[in-house]
């Protein structure tokens, strides 16, 4: 498995520091492997494996530890046997009821360096984690970027168009790099991930009885990537299919899919007033390969797929992303990271004058000097009027400092 350098570099400054490291992300995106790579980093720094405690709470042998008191008792017992600092690696910690009580107690009572992973965004929200508030950093892990995918399949970069076509079709779930030449196997694996995300992280957690309705909501969100979504619109769609449901239930189901890191909600923001619209957010899927599996592996909506790929890449690079409303026009993405701000338009090809005017014209009237990009699959530079045109593959492979 390749080294997840981006995430390791975010964690390294906090290794051996008195702060809890929390690694979050959807199932099978590489969180456990990242824990293993952190352990390897510690071994390289001269730490002893005897000081490591690793527990995966999805393993049935640890079922008795899913209560915080039982977990605390077991960890205290094991920590006391360790000579020096203890390193705790607790995988899928959200399965432990009131886990934060144990973690905060251990942190206060013992010399330990703590690493947690979780597959639900509620792990660190609301009142649940108030006891560790201000004492943790979160690192979000995503499926492979295109750059990581190339490294994982040992690409020689001689046929990037072919490799990118494969990436577009199967997505970036790490295991797929081992079977990427067998599309049927890839589809089977993605179907399994979809089932485990839906059934394990959503249905079981929220005691959902109408699984068919949940699947239809997920299918709708997948088909409408990049379009404004309203619960009312979904409700009308379901009624047309004779599958009516309340607006509140639909809103809950959408929220659950985001909690499981299956989708990300992206607010739409007026560029002038900077206020968010309260309705009609957009949604993007964490791995576009899952969308392909759910909807059938067709590339008719290639614009949506490319837009989704760019969106997740911006998240990987640490940007906060919104949709920008510029009068009656819309900017696909406004990306912010500290004082760094960039605008992005994404399209498949600039194949007509109308498309060129639409993509470049979306920036008309924006008076600031922040970089403005149009990304497409065109290979020729079509930059104009201070707006930078870039090939999507080039954008994805550029060093994050030069993107």
pLDDT digits (tens, 9 = 90+) for 344-362: 999 999 999 999 999 999 9
Quick check: 126 pLDDT over 80?
no
Whether 22 and 129 share a structural domain: yes
What pLDDT is attached to residue 401? Answer: 41
Structural domain count of the chain: 2
Shared domain for 122 and 172, answered yes or no, is: no
For residues 223-260, b (16+ Cβ closer than 10 Å) or e, as one string?
ebbbeebebeebbebbeeeeeebeeebbeebbebbebb
Q: Is the domain of 177 the same as that of 121?
A: no
Tell me, yes or no, whether 199 and 277 share the same domain: yes
Q: 179 and 326: one domain? A: yes
Q: What is the pLDDT of residues 234-282, one digit of tens each?
A: 888 888 876 778 889 999 999 999 999 999 999 999 887 666 665 689 9
User: In sequence order, what DSSP letters do the residues of 193-216 get, joined into one string?
Assistant: HHHHIIIIIIIIHHT-S-HHHHHH
Tokens representing 83? 């000579």
Contact by Cβ (8 Å): 174, 151: no
In the listed set 77, 109, 140, which residue is the last one of a domain according to the structure? 140
Same domain? 127 vs 165: no
Average pLDDT, the chain: 93
Residue 279 CA neighbour count, 13 Å, CB half: 4
Lowest mean pLDDT among 87-96, 130-139, 315-324: 130-139
The verdict on 178 and 263 lying in the same domain is yes
Judge if 286 and 268 occupy the same domain: yes
Task: Note whether 108 and 166 are same-domain residues.
Answer: no
For residues 97 and 156, state if they share a domain: no
- Hey, which residues does 267 pair with through a beta bridge? none
Same domain, 152 and 136: no
Residue-range definition of the domain harbouring residue 92: 5-140
- Phi then psi for residue 335, to 5 deg, are -105, 130
Percent of the chain with pLDDT over 90: 82
Last residue of a domain, one of 89, 105, 140: 140
> Where is the domain boundary, 140, 170, 197?
140
**58-87 mean pLDDT:** 97
H/E stretch holding 342 reads strand 340-346
CATH of the domain at 51: 3.40.50.300
- Kindly report, residue by residue over 307-328, the tens digit of the pLDDT: 999 999 999 999 999 999 999 9
Measured between its terminal Cα atoms, the distance across the chain in Å is 26
Same domain, 133 and 160: no
């Amino acid at each position: 498995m390749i080294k997840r350098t981006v995430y390791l570099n975010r964690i390294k400054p906090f290794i051996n520091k008195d702060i809890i490291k929390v690694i979050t992300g959807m199932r099978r995106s590489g969180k456990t492997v990242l824990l293993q790579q952190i352990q390897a980093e510690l071994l390289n720094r001269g730490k002893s494996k005897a000081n490591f405690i690793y527990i995966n709470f999805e393993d049935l042998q640890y079922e008795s530890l899913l209560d915080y008191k039982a977990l605390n008792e077991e960890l205290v017992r094991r920590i006391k046997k360790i000579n020096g600092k203890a390193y705790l690696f607790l995988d899928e910690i959200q399965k432990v009821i009131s886990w934060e009580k144990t973690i905060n107690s251990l942190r206060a009572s013992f010399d330990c360096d703590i690493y947690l992973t979780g597959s639900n965004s509620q792990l660190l929200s609301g009142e649940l984690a108030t006891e560790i508030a201000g004492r943790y950093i979160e690192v979000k892990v995503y499926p492979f970027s295109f750059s990581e995918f190339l490294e994982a399949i040992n690409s020689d970069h001689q046929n990037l168009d072919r490799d990118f076509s494969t990436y577009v079709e199967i997505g970036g779930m790490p295991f797929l790099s081992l079977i990427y030449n067998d599309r049927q196997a890839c589809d089977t694996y993605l179907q399994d991930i979809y089932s485990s995300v839906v059934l394990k992280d959503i249905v079981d957690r929220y005691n959902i009885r109408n699984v068919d309705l949940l699947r239809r909501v997920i299918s709708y969100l997948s088909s409408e990537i990049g379009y404004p979504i309203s619960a009312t619109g979904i409700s009308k769609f379901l009624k047309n299919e004779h599958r009516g449901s309340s607006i509140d239930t639909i809103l809950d189901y959408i929220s659950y899919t985001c909690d499981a890191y299956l989708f990300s909600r992206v607010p739409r923001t007026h560029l002038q007033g900077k206020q968010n619209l309260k309705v009609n957010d957009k949604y993007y899927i964490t791995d576009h390969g899952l969308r392909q599996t759910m909807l059938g592996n067709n590339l008719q909506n290639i614009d949506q797929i490319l837009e989704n790929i760019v969106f997740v890449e911006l998240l990987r690079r640490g940007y906060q992303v919104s949709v920008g409303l510029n009068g009656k026009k819309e900017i696909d993405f406004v990306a912010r990271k500290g004082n760094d701000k960039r605008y992005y338009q994404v399209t498949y090809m600039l194949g007509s004058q109308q498309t060129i005017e639409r993509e470049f014209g979306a920036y008309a009237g924006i008076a600031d000097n922040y970089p403005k990009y149009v990304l497409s699959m065109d290979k020729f530079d079509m930059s104009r009027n201070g707006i930078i045109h870039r090939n999507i593959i080039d954008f994805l492979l550029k060093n994050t400092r030069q993107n």
